[in-house]
Structure 1
């Protein structure tokens, strides 16, 4: 009867709706007689029907009222968690978060209902998108008190939500709860979030320890994001050699560097004064087809101002006042004519302030003392 396993699964979850039923529900708003029309239709109300109606392109008001009607008029019928989840998805699409809160509480107050692990994981993501962090944690704790066992996916959804909202200490608390669960083990997503959390808390040794622990686990490989986070940590603590070794390890493991990976490593080399290595890595970055961002270019400007500045313009970037300042300070050591050429470029793009010009070089003072002759106006000092 069914052509594939997928169609069989769909047939178990949804029902084909009668065209007359669709005609009844295809209305802008639920009317007082709509329920009577449905009752006369003598529907066999079950959760497949409810899910099918909620998935259809009806008005939200009609869907919500049909959900209520089915609960009252269905013979020997009770909504299950799948029907509630279908309703919650509709409410999220309309951004009705207060109604989502009420719907979830209905499920929690019903002793005959509970969310499955997959539904609970999805629910955490929905609440996270709605910035309902306290509600998500409340659901998690209430379900745990009812004896519900969570899997890694559920915990990951909660941890990622907490990371997104900057609740880093709470991340560690949830991770501790996760470790207490039987047959619930951290995966790559978990380790990535934990390493990022430790890095943001300034607990660098804990982040490195977590990275080493992950590598010791079979089947788990660090992602580009994890490597980039570790490179940023090594750069901040000044362990340049560790950064370079980790970068080589990353490539050997078949993990391709991203523009953020290059940025973290180059910034670390620049701060440590490894000029040659930083510039060589910068050229490798361009060769691999990556476009550096403004922050990286500004950091490099102090070492190779003129070359980088020209490449920045060729790449289509519009230099801000900071790279212009760096270039001018560098060029002020050379002939006045060369410094003057950079000044002219700054005037053309109108991205320089009068007070900053006064700090560049004594060679410029005569030139900048008459800004009114040019097409830009200085700020008042």
Structure 2
């Protein structure tokens, strides 16, 4: 029996840029599709791939089969945390459906966990590949596709080692890589921007007769898109269609998101592909729509944004949800007048919309510096029985911090906690930035350490912001310590992070430490990218 578990879709875009969002959803492509599914009809295959969108792999159990059942989807959540209904849609499979059941998922891994752990330790224990290879050859284990997939998945942070192991095991007698292992290796190579190796693996797949699935093409498209190489991503997309492989919902989603990013942005192509996606009857999810509408509003293509909203209403998004996504997108790019006009002309939907978008309205008013109007809006919603959201509180705190009113920002934080509204990473990050800006570095460290001990844990943006602030005020040596913490938390520092600390240390006359940072950057690049 197939059981469909409905999950609430939460916005993950509102606090992050497109590149960060792409990095996060990249992990969802680890959801492996068995090659035998390529023989099913396009509608079923589209459903299978849509199920992979947003699926977070919580267990190490490989997927062996999928099923899909149409159903009424409810509880689409806004970025402010409120729930809105989605109208019943026949013959539509949503990414938020997770199919579970004894007939669909293995009840236990098809590999030995001890083997995975020991081999991963062996692979990460030495930089000398010759000695590592000797250890592997002495280790008596039957390498299966499932075992190899799990090993390279866990070792993806050490991409060079993972790909060496991939090559080594592929040459063993009696073993042949599967579509899933090739896909994972391509994802690892592309993740380190080794696009030559990624394409080489693709050609090897085809040469050896492996089935090239939409999932395989999508990996390449997404990896080029993440790097801002959208022209190449578009070329891969055309190559995919020319080969006779039909793009699925995930393919359109990740390509359009790439085209909406600031690096390599191509808005006209994104609009064209969105229309093509709609004609192909692939229904977008809410997070994708947030990014797409945000790009259209920022690019002043409001007529296309309105057409998108009208389409959403036709395919099952409620009127309130469709317009709230549009209004929030307008507010985020500073088009507050257009947002208020749309809200005022909402008619019967005005009351519902007001409840769900007031956080974005407050944020927009604060960005304009109109604190009085923002506080008036908060009081208006309180009188209507709507409690301020974390979005509203964070916006108020950020405003006070920019105005150097740290005490009022702290009062906002205390009010949040008292009313049971839990601060987010964005809230705490704003507080850290404010403390550093006012010279209260000890207080900033106190908040940062509180995040690590009590949560929410600092993310890449928090670390990057904090180290930049420290370097700006002449405390680059403290920022250097954050690099080690990032690596310990399995967060990969960017080139910008290293460069910021390098220049900061040199400005402070700490040239030996600056050279150490430069060496750390080279060592990390060698560790992640070396394949020889």
Given the superposition, is the C-alpha separation of residues 201 and 51 from structure 1 closer, same or farther in structure 2, using an over 3 Å criterion? same
Pairing 1:164-243 to 2, within 5 Å after superposition: 164-165=261-262, 166-181=265-280, 183-220=281-318, 221-222=321-322, 224-230=324-330, 241-243=341-343
What's the counterpart of residue 19 of structure 2?
none
What's the counterpart of residue 150 of structure 1?
247
Unpaired runs of at least 5, structure 1:
298-308, 318-348, 350-381
2:197 to 83, 86, 102: 102
Pairing 1:286-301 to 2, within 5 Å after superposition: 288-289=387-388, 290-291=392-393, 292=395
Deviation of residue 257 (structure 1)? 2.7
Given the superposition, is the C-alpha separation of residues 293 and 253 from structure 1 closer, same or farther in structure 2, using an over 3 Å criterion? closer
What's the counterpart of residue 360 of structure 2?
260
Deviation of residue 231 (structure 1)? 6.0
Pair 1:161 & 2:161 matched: no
Which 10-residue stretch deviates more, 66-75 or 228-237? 228-237
Question: Per-residue CA shift, 1:329-376, capped at 9, x if unaligned?
Answer: xxxxxxxxxxxxxxxxxxxx9xxxxxxxxxxxxxxxxxxxxxxxxxxx
Pairing 1:3-42 to 2, within 5 Å after superposition: 5=102, 8=106, 11-12=109-110, 14-18=111-115, 25=123, 27-32=125-130, 34-36=132-134, 38-39=136-137, 41=139
What's the counterpart of residue 408 of structure 2?
315
Cα RMSD for the two superposed structures = 4.6
What's the counterpart of residue 237 of structure 2?
140
Given the superposition, is the C-alpha separation of residues 286 and 23 from structure 1 closer, same or farther in structure 2, using an over 3 Å criterion? closer
* Residues 260 and 295 in structure 2, CA contact (< 8 A), matched pair in contact too: yes
Given the superposition, is the C-alpha separation of residues 223 and 55 from structure 1 closer, same or farther in structure 2, using an over 3 Å criterion? farther
* Residues 71 and 78 in structure 1, CA contact (< 8 A), matched pair in contact too: yes
Deviation of residue 119 (structure 1)? 5.3
Give the greater-gyration-radius structure (CA): 1
Pair 1:65 & 2:158 matched: no
Given the superposition, is the C-alpha separation of residues 251 and 85 from structure 1 closer, same or farther in structure 2, using an over 3 Å criterion? farther
* Residues 47 and 79 in structure 1, CA contact (< 8 A), matched pair in contact too: yes
1:50 to 142, 148, 152: 148
* Residues 187 and 198 in structure 2, CA contact (< 8 A), matched pair in contact too: no
SS of structure 1 residue aligned to 2:270: helix
* Residues 214 and 251 in structure 2, CA contact (< 8 A), matched pair in contact too: yes
What's the counterpart of residue 380 of structure 2?
284
Give distance in 2, aligned partners of 1:250 and 1:230. 17
Question: Per-residue CA shift, 1:245-291, capped at 9, x if unaligned?
Answer: 449736526962353233447889x8xxxx99877426436884434
Pairing 1:110-149 to 2, within 5 Å after superposition: 110-111=205-206, 112-118=209-215, 120-121=217-218, 124-149=221-246
Deviation of residue 48 (structure 1)? 1.8
Question: Per-residue CA shift, 1:20-39, capped at 9, x if unaligned?
Answer: 75675453124435445544
Aligned length in residues: 296
Question: Per-residue CA shift, 1:48-98, capped at 9, x if unaligned?
Answer: 2321321345954432222111222232x3322311233345456xx6212
Given the superposition, is the C-alpha separation of residues 242 and 73 from structure 1 closer, same or farther in structure 2, using an over 3 Å criterion? closer
SS of structure 1 residue aligned to 2:109: helix
Given the superposition, is the C-alpha separation of residues 251 and 150 from structure 1 closer, same or farther in structure 2, using an over 3 Å criterion? farther
